[in-house]
Amino acid sequence: MKESKFEFSYKVYNDISELAKEDATLLNKAKSVTKQAYAPYSNFFVGAVARLANGETVAGTNQENASYPVGICAERVLLGNAATLFPGVSIDTLAISYDSKDVPSDHPISPCGMCRQALLEYETRTAKPIRLILAGQKGKIYIVETVRFLLPFAFTQDELI
């Protein structure tokens, strides 16, 4: 038997004032776009904003539905927007934030499993790591250098070839 270990490092910032200007700008956009989310059932409003390799930005918000499984997360809305508006252009950095009527938005959140898989697929098809900025409306901020770190045993196209 052989034991293996998976570890990764990420950066932790105390608040937005410690970020580089372009990262702070992107995160502020993600915080702001949470107001456009449609979340009348969970009251959990998520916003995602990406800076693409061509310098453009694209946003997405979660969109809930009374038929609960029909909703879609902010990250996947963003990926669809990016792929449609700028085909083949990679995502440099993606900022994700949230707000809630029910819980404090004072710590980072991470994409759900389905979004991790979708983000990894986008990262793989554009052959460029997607850097993540994860935060609430206030408090600590995490920066992760690649989506791959969030899904170490990913199911990828390699399993299908």
Distance CA 1, CA 145 (A): 31
Q: How many Cβ atoms sit within 10 Å of the Cβ of residue 142?
A: 17
Give the CA dihedral 116, 55, 45, 40, nearest 10 degrees.
-100
- Residue 60's identity, in one-letter code, is G
75 is catalytic: yes
* Strand order across the 91-100 sheet: 11-13, 141-144, 131-135, 91-100, 44-52, 57-61
Given 3, 75, 145, 159, the catalytic residue: 75
Q: What are the CA-CA distances from residue 73 to residues 16, 29, 59, 79, 110 (Å)?
A: 24, 17, 12, 10, 12
The catalytic site residues sit at 75
